[in-house]
Amino acid sequence: MAAEEFIKEIYDSSENYLPQQVYNCDESGLNFKALPQKNLAYQEESCAPGFKMSKERVTVLACSNTTGDNKLPLMFIGKSKNPRPLKNVNMKLLSVFYRNQKRAWMIVQLFKELFE
């Protein structure tokens, strides 16, 4: 019963919103230094022995409203506050948001920054 009441409440409260006011956001982890673990020619083969797989990653968030007329800039979340490749770059001039978080995860504070 509680679930059905919750669903009804959501539908009732969403009737007052215009499509321009409804947003969809999706985040994905990007392991940008990871190599393939298997070779297409030999499925039994894994990565070369003696090498560790890189666990370096960023989280990427894409967000837009329902009509698509307000696409927010991509947000990248990494572990480093000042990544070396962006050492001499003015972060405010980038066409994306870059933020840092200890584990490169999306957290409430970072999500709110996107809309401020």
> Which residues face 99 on adjacent strands?
77
Cβ of 59: how many Cβ atoms within 10 Å? 20
**In 3-state terms, the chain is what percent helix, strand and coil (to 5)?**
25, 25, 50
Q: How far apart are CA 60 and CA 43, in angstroms?
A: 30
Percentage of the chain lying above the pLDDT 70 cut: 82
* In contact, 85 and 98? CB cutoff 8 Å: no
Summarised one tens digit per residue, pLDDT across range 25-54 is 999 999 888 776 666 655 555 555 666 667
Summarised one tens digit per residue, pLDDT across range 19-29 is 999 999 999 99
